[in-house]
Amino acid sequence: MRVSRLMLVTLRDDPAEAEIPSHKLLLRGGYMRRVASGVYAYLPLLWRVLSKISAIVRQEMNATGALETLLPALQPASLWERSGRWQGYTAGEGIMFHLVDRQERSLGLGPTHEEVITALAADLLRSYRQLPVSLYQIQTKFRDEIRPRFGLMRGREFIMKDAYSFHADEADLRLTYARMDQAYRRIFSRCGLRTVAVEADSGAIGGSASQEFMVTAAAGEDLILSSADGRYAANQERACSLPEPAVPLVCPSPEAVELHTPGQHSIEDLCAAHGLEPSQTVKVLLLLARCAIGQARVVLVSLRGDQQLNPTKLANAVSAAVGEGAGALLELEPISAEQIRSEGLPEWPLGCLGPHLGDELLSGARSWHPAFLRLADATAAELDVFVCGANRPDTHLVGARWEALGGARPSVADLRSAQPGERCLQDPTQRLEASRGIEVGHIFQLGRKYSQALEATFTNEQGLDEPLWMGCYGIGVSRLAQAAVEQHHDQQGICWPVAIAPFEVIVVVASAQDPVQVALGETLHDKLEQAGLEVLLDDRSERAGVKFKDADLIGIPWRVVVGRGAASAQVELVERASGAKSEMAADAVVAQLQQTILAARGGLALGSS
RNA sequence: CGGGAUGUGGCGCAGCUUGGUAGCGCACUUCGUUCGGGACGAAGGGGCCGCAGGUUCGAAUCCUGUCAUCCCGACCA
């Protein structure tokens, strides 16, 4: 391929819209253009990268025995109503693009395909004799993200590989899950990525066990907490740790004593004013939970004063507490004084709340459920004696005890965010370290959530019908491409790993005016292609410096410079990533590159997709 | 949706405070000189100043509204 025919337009300046290196470089290198917020045109160079990643994904998925398929992006609402996810995915902060067709039927653009695949499974899978079976597809997904970000990192339209497995029992699901785990590790390693597998929250997809694969990079959106020995790693949303022990509260009197605390509405103010430690206090947070079905509920969360609330864990706890009858949890937001007023309720002593806040405060609420949903983190529930709000303005209680406070006791759950520096649960001698990661893959054991909802059953060996066991497995293909750039770049530009580079070699003719150089460049290009390599020939009549800069920017792993030595058939070979240069005979360079590159491809032969 | 910022040739920006001929660098075209790390000179083409109202003799500039994009939070591959 000739650069002059490549429609290559590189930019000298960073586009103002890009913030992180990979986004800037993909725009500057002429790999993509933004069409709308979170929507990108993949230009020819990027499409080659995406195709190579897809080819690796295909090989590894096929090796697990999964079958490639292609499901519709346009999906009927009725299917999503059957799984109970239509509301959650379209109302409130739902992310599904949806529309109404000329027959007034509601449709959505697939953000994921559990519904479609499960309906197909219900239709096609009848007997345990057909199981297990796995299907996958590589396809464009649509998600109306609340905030698209960083180019391909969080797009509203993006390429994803999603796979679904079906099993007769849970043990078999675990086997495939483990096989997918191994396949994923091979995929990322073949793409040249350093990844870490972390325990993850299952989120809206649901199900039990799940694991994310993170490309470690400073620009990552997720915080990973891991032990130094690498045996424990989890997304902060999910991570657990041993909290520091609370500082004991010395309290001579068995009765709680009132403390005048004017204007001390935060834990910091309270502790500073009275010489207390945050771990001696219990703070109370009020949130409003809106579910698809039923009244909004006020959630009263008790946390030890030094702990941070983990919104993901709280959302899971609330969902579990309200039960399936309430449908999907649509929204969980802190309550404001205005909201309390607009419910027609008298003012609450915000800032001085205690865990024993009575349900009578909710009586007469216009739309809210008349009782608090009471939850407490274990660190708070374990305190024998503590400081908390007195539920009266400017007043706290010192020496409060759960049994003495009276009122309804909260359900105890893990609601706190693990923090870097805390001790690991499985090995208290180690402490959690923080790093950032880009989530490029996520695997789930879904269990029977979707098969039950969509009545996807099979007949087991005993002749009885039962719901299928399911797993699902995603890779963000377009995100992976950008994550690779985030991990492999320098001041000059991208340094693609050979396995996913758009081209493997670029032959740069230093002077397009010199017929000897031009001829040698052409010859080399042809020979390298005949050797089975993917070769770019920079035949433009630019000055050498411009071509070198562009070659570095677009990040082709190997550069062959045909220049001054052309008359004596000498060329220069430069490795992009290391910058290592060597002079050699033009004849020798073909064999050398063939050997090096074929090895670096990791078994992916040309055109093997 | 809340908070912050920005919209001026393809890209990066100045001009706006104090209203009066729309500018600079890069890119593009032509010519000449140059030619191994984003050359130099000359000539040239390209802009509804995001959009819509308003104020004014006159608006890129002032006012109102609106749209879009980016950043910080909730969502996720």
| Mean pLDDT computed over A352-378 | 91
Residue with tokens 């913030």: A19
- C-alpha distance from residue A379 to each of A12, A419, A562 (Å): 54, 14, 68
| CATH architecture assigned to A257-413 | Alpha-Beta Complex (3.90)
Residues with Cβ within 8 Å of A257's Cβ and at least 6 positions away in sequence, in order, are A397, A398, A399
Indicate whether A181 pLDDT > 70: yes
Question: How many residues belong to chain A?
Answer: 609
How would residue A440 be classed by pLDDT, with cut points 50, 70 and 90?
Answer: very high
> Which nucleotide's C1' sits nearest to the alpha carbon of A441?
B77
Of all residues in chain A, the percent with pLDDT exceeding 70 is 98
Amino acid at A344: G
| Mean pLDDT computed over A176-201 | 95
pLDDT digits over A93-139, tens only? 789 999 999 999 999 999 999 999 999 999 999 999 999 999 999 99
Amino acid at A244: E
pLDDT digits over A228-266, tens only? 888 899 999 899 999 999 999 888 788 888 999 988 888
Residues with Cβ within 8 Å of A526's Cβ and at least 6 positions away in sequence, in order, are none
What are the structure tokens assigned to A365, written together? 């609420």
Indicate whether A1 pLDDT > 70: yes
Report the topology of domain A47-193+201-209+438-486. Answer: BirA Bifunctional Protein; domain 2 (3.30.930)
- Domain edges within chain A: 47-193+201-209+438-486, 257-413, 503-600
What's the CA A248/C1' B67 distance, rounded, in angstroms? 58
pLDDT digits over A296-342, tens only? 899 999 999 999 899 888 988 888 888 877 877 877 888 878 788 88
A393 prior amide bond cis, ω within 30: no
Which of A204, A200, A118 lies closest to A469 in space, CA to CA?
A: A118
> Which nucleotide's C1' sits nearest to the alpha carbon of A34?
B69
Q: Do domains A47-193+201-209+438-486 and A257-413 have the same CATH topology?
A: no
Q: Which nucleotides of B are covered by protein (CB under 7 A)?
A: 1, 6, 11-13, 25-27, 34-39, 68-77
What's the CA A541/C1' B34 distance, rounded, in angstroms? 13
Instruction: Give the helix ranges, DSSP H, for A275-347.
Output: 311-322, 337-342
Class of the CATH-defined domain A503-600: alpha beta
pLDDT digits over A476-523, tens only? 999 999 999 999 999 999 999 999 999 999 999 999 999 999 999 999
Indicate whether A348 pLDDT > 60: yes
| Mean pLDDT computed over A33-45 | 95
Report whether A605 contacts A531 (CB < 8 A): no
A471: Cα within 13 Å, side-chain hemisphere:
31
Residue A334: the pLDDT is 83
Indicate whether A606 pLDDT > 60: no
A74-76 and A257-260 beta bridge pairing: unpaired
Q: Where are the beta strands (DSSP E) in A384-526?
A: 386-392, 395-400, 411-413, 433-447, 457-459, 465-467, 469-476, 489-490, 493-494, 505-509
Higher per-residue pLDDT: A268 or A106: A106
pLDDT digits over A406-426, tens only? 878 899 999 999 999 999 998
Residue A605: the pLDDT is 45
